[in-house]
Chains A and B, each alone.
Chain A
Amino acid sequence: MIRLEKRPQPSRAWSMATPLVAVLATMVMGGLLFATLGKNPVEAIRTIFWEPLFGEFAFYYRPQLLVKGAPLVLIAIGLSLGFRAGIWNIGAEGQYIIGALTGAGVGLAFYPMESWIIFPLMVLAGAFGGWAWAMIPAVLKTRFGTNEILVSLMLVYVAEQLLASMSLGLMKNPEGFGFPGSRNLQQYDSAHNAELIAGTGMHWGVVAALIAVIFSYVLLNRHMLGYHIRLTGEAPRAAKFAGVKPARLILFCLGASGALAGLAGMFEVSGPSGQVSIDFNVGYGFTAIIVAFLGRLHPVGILLAGALMALTYIGGDIAQGNLGLPSAAIQVFQGMLLFFLLALDLLTNYRIAIGKPEVA
């Protein structure tokens, strides 16, 4: 009989190894899935993981990796702070939208003036927008004890309505022949989040994501606030005994994740996307939740997970195009990754023992 035995303390080796094992298990099971769909599994896996990096058109896909990975990492870093403390911001997608709206709004308000100050102001506005949107669930939770999961999630749909209203109304391009959507910020130099080195995909959002990773690492490992965040997540009563004020922590964690999501939205709207439009958001805010857990809520892990997730997105697109795989199969494939990771996570705290149970 196979049983699980609790380890006396978490295994470091397994905690490092589970993401790799999870990726391997996903490849095997995903391959089986693709095989039953009548595709060559080796070819499909190779297309997803190899083609974007080293294939014939890698010069095009590699920059895409940064473009897709940066918002995921930026948002996931913010979310991980709250998740570590047991504060669940599920509404990063909404904060992302609002950050894009406030950021783009500031840029559009200055149009057509050219000045170096405009872009920094947009960055501040984007962060502020996301922060303010996250403060709604935060204040409601600290004041009235509402559930931040529900409130932040519901606000995503409010934000989507706002986005639609803005791209059809206030922010609509007056010279856009009546089409919905704002002016294209890519054509407005002072507000354009251009590539820092042409052809690499490296824009300010990528820089911000890397800074966020470093900042979060220092915060969690070297700072009292980070210690309090971890303590609250592991033992809320002990945190209270240590003098942590839960309300302050809620405001900080939701505020920080909102601000980072807002930043991600702002960098996206002023760069790769270019304009406020009805279909501006593509789910980065939700995928970032997966990225945060895939990276085990650890800053460096999130960086790697963000890259991996971006890879499966791009590789998945290629596989759809080249091999005719249905998009649902790609989504199942991505879902498997999270499933295996969470399932194998058990091995960090438990070991598998074979034999008859002796102690109840």
Chain B
Amino acid sequence: MSTPPLLTIEGLTKAYPGVVANDHVSFTIGEGEVHALLGENGAGKSTLVKMIYGLVKPDSGRMTLRGASYKPAEPRQARADGIAMVFQHFSLFDALNVAENIALGMENPPALRDLAARIREVSEAYGLPLDPFRTVGDLSAGERQRVEIIRCLLQDPKLLIMDEPTSVLTPQEVEILFETLKKLKSEGTSILYISHKLEEIRALCDHATILRLGKNVGECVPRDTSARDMAELMVGTALKTPERGAREFGDVALDISGLSVPAPSAFGTTLKNVHLAVRRGEILGIGGVAGNGQDELLAVMSGEVTCARDAVKFDGKPIGHMGPTARRALGVLTAPEERLGHAAAPDMSLTENALLTGSVREGLENNGFLKWGATKTFAEKIIKAFDVRTPGPENAARSLSGGNLQKFVIGREVLQRPEVLVVNQPTWGVDAAAAAAIRQALLDLAANGAAVICISQDLDELMEISDNFAALNEGRLSAPRPTAELTVDEIGLMMGGAHGMEVAHV
């Protein structure tokens, strides 16, 4: 790129107690350039963009925007200087409509009617169809992201920062997004694109900066670099791919037939006529965009939501009416997506959290009296076997990082020798090495004759470990198909395509 630089970053450093999040990071973003920021979880990508967006103040280093020194004290100032950001987690109010949500984020919102007109204008110009008067609670994740993007585009930004934008999208929605980003680029807007999905970066970005443990470890032109090379730069060592040994499928272990469950809340999803069977030794992958019934499906299998006796069967026996404790006694174990507050109690120690699901199968109680000694041993076993980084089992669950707690939560179930294990988003927010370990543990479980259901939004993960693939779309589960025969396009269509939206016409 021969354009003059838009933003130059030199030697940015930011240290938190105990960890240096960014250590002398430097790079340059040109005008109209799509620049990728690549790195594992915890590599310091988020801290870096927060400094650019004025949320975090750097300890040292300089930023230069179009030749002038740039020191944003707060996001408002960053926005005034033409920098906009789309966060990974949306900050939208479910009960308000699109225009109201966008007005809430503005300094001086115009009248709602004028704003709606502008939203329509921008959404059409960039191929992001969106009705300003729809309630956000009814929108898909992809549509919610459009709200966030349009909110940014209304400010006419020079630099658009996108934090892991595709993690919640179907392949078709990703394509729409890429069309939009390419159009923005052609108009001269620069984009800082954060991701760890290498193929996306190769398809979209002009330049990539790779971070590892807070340091700038390399730069490359993604188009000319192989995904494997970039991954190894990112991780720092050669990657170990989980091994899937040859497995024999046994009898059907868990069988769900004709299951319909009404939505638990106004913004929940109703499960509609779900059929599913998983055999011993099989890993069934369930894909789908977030909010299409994943939580509800897990609740039905864990026993948190009970249903008709015959709707859920384990080894042919009806268990639909049983609660979580009875199901655990049989060997049907689950690990929910939400770690804090659902899979674990934040303020309780790891020992107490080990007891949460382990009491039945690990024999941690005696006539209702708790065996704290045995529970602590069990917690220590999980910490050791799954390499959970913590000073000890007496620490509160909330003191662990997300990835470490995830290892603990998955380890807790895996070590209880499940007959059936259902996991939802097992590697969400976990670094690549730990994710590989978790996937390997799931594969080993299946090899030893357990039936595994893996609900995930990470298609690469499902392609890597699952034998059969089904997709959830608005509470309906597609018929499972062998993963090996599927193409990405077919998976996208199973996931519900692009929710009836057209691909942008540019």
Q: Could you tell me which A residues sit within 8 Å of B by CB distance?
A: 8-10, 222-225, 227, 230-231, 234-235, 237-243, 245, 358-360
> In the complex the two chains form, is A238's CB within 8 Å of B343's CB?
yes
A326 to B111, CA, bound (A): 58
Partner of B341, one of A9, A224, A238, A242: A238
Q: Which of B356, B370, B398, B399 contacts A242 (CB 8 A)?
A: B356
B304 at the interface (CB under 8 A from A): yes
Knowing A238-B356, A243-B328, the reply to whether A227 touches B370 (Cβ < 8 A) is yes
User: In the complex, A307 Cα to B369 Cα: how many Å?
Assistant: 30
Contact between chains at A245 and B323 (CB < 8 Å): yes
Q: Which residues of A contact B75 (CB under 8 A)?
A: 360
Q: Of A230, A241, A360, which contacts B56 at CB under 8 A?
A: A360
| A224 and B368 contact, CB distance less than 8 A | yes
Binds A, one of B152-160, B276-284, B344-352, B485-493: B344-352
Q: Which chain A positions have C-beta within 8 A of B365? A: 224
Do A238 and B344 form a contact, CB below 8 Å, given A243-B303, A243-B324?
A: yes
Residues B302-337 near A (CB distance < 8 A): 302-304, 323-326, 328, 334, 336
Q: What is the minimal beta-carbon distance from B359 to any residue of chain A, in angstroms?
A: 7
Note all chain B residues with C-beta closer than 8 A to A9.
347, 395-396, 398-399
Task: Please judge, given known A-B contacts A8-B398, A234-B347, A360-B56, whether A224 and B359 are in contact too, CB under 8 Å.
Answer: yes
- Kindly list chain A residues whose C-beta atoms are within 8 Å of the C-beta of B74: 360
Taking CB atoms, residues of chain B closer than 8 Å to A231 are: 345, 348, 356
Closest Cβ–Cβ distance, residue B401 to chain A (whole Å): 11
- Contact A222:B369 (CB < 8 A) given known A9-B396, A240-B304: yes
Q: Which residues of A contact B359 (CB under 8 A)?
A: 224
| With known contacts A222-B369, A243-B303, A237–B338 Cβ distance under 8 A | yes
Q: Do the beta carbons of A241 and B304 come within 8 Å of each other?
A: yes
Q: Which residues of B contact A240 (CB under 8 A)?
A: 304, 324
Q: Is the CB of A10 within 8 A of B396?
A: yes
Chain A residues whose C-beta falls within 8 Å of the C-beta of B326 in the assembled complex: 243
Q: In the docked arrangement, what's the CA distance between A234 and B341, Å?
A: 8
* Chain B residues within 8 Å of A234, by CB: 345-348
- Which of B342, B344, B345 has the largest number of chain A CB atoms within 10 A? B345
**How many chain B residues have a CB neighbour from A under 8 Å?**
40
Closest 4 CB pairs between A and B?
A243-B325, A243-B324, A9-B396, A235-B345
In the complex, are the beta carbons of B399 and A358 less than 8 A apart?
no
> Using Cβ atoms and an 8 Å threshold, which residues of chain A touch B195?
none
- Say yes or no for B55: interface residue by CB 8 A criterion: yes
Interface residues of B in 346-385 (CB under 8 A from A): 346-348, 352, 355-357, 359, 365, 368-370, 372
**Cβ-defined contact, A360 with B55, below 8 A:** yes
- Contact among A222, A227, A239, A241 with B352 in the assembled complex (CB-CB below 8 Å): A227
Given known pairs A238-B343, A243-B328, the reply for A223 and B304 (CB within 8 Å) is no
- Report which of B56, B303, B323, B398 forms a contact with A358, defined as CB distance below 8 A: B56
B57 at the interface (CB under 8 A from A): yes
Chain B hits for A239, CB < 8 A: 345
Pair B57/A358 contact, Cβ less than 8 Å = yes
Interface residues of B (CB under 8 A from A): 50, 55-57, 74-75, 302-304, 323-326, 328, 334, 336, 338, 340-348, 352, 355-357, 359, 365, 368-370, 372, 395-396, 398-399
Given A225-B368, A227-B352, A235-B341, check contact A10 B347 (CB 8 Å): yes
The verdict on A237 contacting B342 (CB below 8 Å), with A9-B395, A224-B359, A243-B324 known, is yes
Name which residue of chain B comes closest to A232, CB basis: B345
Instruction: List, in ascending order, chain A residues with CB within 8 A of B323's CB.
Output: 243, 245
In the complex, A9 Cα to B353 Cα: how many Å?
A: 15
A-B contacts, 29 of them at CB < 8 A, read A8-B399, A9-B398, A222-B370, A223-B368, A223-B370, A224-B359, A225-B368, A227-B352, A227-B355, A231-B356, A234-B346, A234-B347, A235-B341, A235-B344, A238-B345, A238-B356, A239-B345, A240-B304, A241-B334, A241-B336, A242-B324, A242-B325, A243-B323, A243-B324, A243-B325, A243-B326, A358-B56, A359-B55, A360-B75
CA distance in complex: A243, B326 (Å): 9
Smallest CB separation, B216 vs chain A (Å) = 22
Residue of A nearest to B357 (CB): A242
Known interface pairs A10-B347, A240-B304, A243-B303; A223-B342 also in contact (CB < 8 Å): no
**Contact in complex: B346, A235 (CB < 8 Å):** yes
Minimal beta-carbon separation of A97 from chain B (angstroms): 33
Q: Is there an interface contact between B57 and A241, defined as CB atoms closer than 8 Å?
A: no
Query: Cβ of A241 and Cβ of B302 under 8 Å apart?
Result: yes
Kindly name the residue among A225, A234, A237, A238 whose own CB sees the greatest number of chain B CB atoms within 10 A. Answer: A238
Distance in Å from the Cβ of B397 to the closest Cβ of chain A?
9
Query: Is B370's CB under 8 angstroms from A238's CB?
Result: no
Interchain CB contact under 8 A, B346 and A224: no
Chain A residue with the shortest CB-CB distance to B356: A242
Assembled-state Cα–Cα distance A142/B338 (Å): 27
A222 to B357, CA, bound (A): 17
Known: A227-B352, A359-B56, A360-B56. A241 touches B370 (CB 8 A): no
Q: Which residue of A lies closest to B394 (CB)?
A: A9
Residues in B with CB closer than 8 Å to A227 are: 352, 355, 370
Cβ of A28 to closest chain B Cβ, rounded Å: 31
- Tell me, rounded to whole Å, the shortest Cβ–Cβ distance linking A277 to chain B: 42
Nearest B residue (CB) for A8: B399
Inside 8 A of B356's CB, which chain A residues have their CB?
A: 231, 238, 241-242
CB neighbours of A224 from chain B (8 A): 359, 365, 368-370
- Could you tell me if B346 and A241 are in contact, using CB atoms closer than 8 angstroms? no
Not counting A227-B355, A358-B57, a sample of 14 additional A-B residue pairs whose C-beta atoms are within 8 angstroms of each other reads A9-B396, A222-B369, A224-B359, A231-B345, A235-B342, A235-B344, A235-B346, A237-B341, A237-B342, A241-B342, A242-B325, A242-B357, A243-B325, A359-B55
List the B side residues contacting A245 at CB < 8 Å. Answer: 323
A50 to chain B minimum Cβ distance, whole angstroms, is 38
Chain B residues with Cβ below 8 Å from A223 are 368-370
Determine the distance from Cα of A230 to Cα of B55 in the docked complex, in whole angstroms. 37
Contacts of A243 in B (CB 8 A): 303, 323-326, 328
- How far apart sit A227 and B365, CA to CA, in the bound complex (Å)? 11
Using CB atoms, name the residue of chain B closest to A360.
Answer: B55
Which of chain B's residues have a CB closer than 8 A to the CB of A238? Answer: 341-345, 356
B20 to chain A, nearest CB (A): 14
Bound-state Cα–Cα, A227 to B354, Å: 12
A235 CA to B50 CA, complexed, in Å? 31
Q: Shortest Cβ distance from A234 into chain B, in angstroms? A: 5
Q: Which residue of B lies closest to A242 (CB)?
A: B356
Distance in angstroms between the alpha carbons of A9 and B352 in the assembled complex: 14
Contact present for B368 and A241 (CB under 8 Å): no
A102 to B143, CA, bound (A): 63
Nearest-CB residue, chain B, relative to A356: B57
**Within 8 Å CB of B341, what residues of A?**
235, 237-238
> How near does chain A come to B212, taking the closest CB pair, in angstroms?
22
Contacts of B343 in A (CB 8 A): 238, 241
Question: With A and B bound together, what is the CA distance between A120 and B395 in angstroms?
Answer: 46
CB neighbours (8 Å) of A241 from chain B are 302, 304, 324, 334, 336, 342-343, 356-357
Residue of A with least CB distance to B368: A224
Residues of B within 8 A of A225 (CB): 368
B324 closest partner in A (C-beta): A243
CA distance A235 to B347 in the complex (A): 9
Contact residues in B for A237 (Cβ distance below 8 Å): 338, 341-342
